[in-house]
Amino acid sequence: MCESTSDPPLENRLSTEFINSLPIIRFKGPVIVIDDSTQAAEILKALSNEKILGFDTESRPSFSKGVSYPPAIIQLATKKRVYLFQLKGMGLNGDLIRFLADSTTRKIGIGLKDDIDRLRNLQPFKPGGFIDLSKLAGQKGIIQTGARALTARYLGHRLSKGAQTSNWAHPTLSEKQKRYAATDAWICLQIYPRLLADHNRYPPPEEGNTTD
């Protein structure tokens, strides 16, 4: 498990300079890529025994206004390994839909509304068991509720976004893409207990608002 380099900063707004000064965090464990329905069914059956998982999705980036693409990858993370489900080959099939609707396994993510909306555009389903760290942080009065800010605040590290705009729909993912996608889901498991344990009362910001 990742260890924080310091206690969470009490400031409500973390500066870009502060975040950029922190060491980068990366998931270093096994990353398993799943690209067919049979393998997905086996992995999801095993993951159904987990009480809590990190969750995220990645989509092909769009560089044109008004154009967006569906999720290409679903990431599910345990504390020791991360699974990347490539949707291009198998689609959002019945096993994945049942897993995403299952409320018995908590799926922890950050800014989940867009992820879930895009998945439901592929196949309608009722999401179950999702916990959004952005919402939990907002309830505590924290204004920067995005992944980079929460990683900086609670883990004392910087989340790299270097592979964010790469082609996630490509059938062969690079090692950089795998590590990026795995880290995005895995950090949710690291942040979650620290966020729950944070009982600070955060002062309102002097100006503006951000979710960085």
| Overall size of the chain counted in residues | 212
Domain 16-61+69-197 CATH class label: alpha beta
DSSP 8-state secondary structure symbol assigned to residue 209: -
Entry pTM:
0.90
**What digits encode the pLDDT tens for the residues 202-211?**
887 665 445 5
pLDDT in tens, 78-133: 999 999 999 988 999 999 999 999 999 999 999 999 999 999 999 999 999 999 99
Query: Tokens standing for 174?
Result: 């690079």
Supply 153's token pair.
Answer: 């605040």
Average predicted confidence (pLDDT) for the chain? 91
The domain limits of the chain are: 16-61+69-197
Start-to-end CA span in the chain (Å) = 24
Per DSSP, the three-state class of 108 is strand
Secondary structure E strands in 35-88:
52-59, 71-77, 82-86
Q: How far apart are CA 183 and CA 11, in angstroms?
A: 25
Question: Where residue 23 falls among pLDDT bands split at 50, 70, 90?
Answer: very high
The span from the CA of 148 to the CA of 211, in Å, is 9
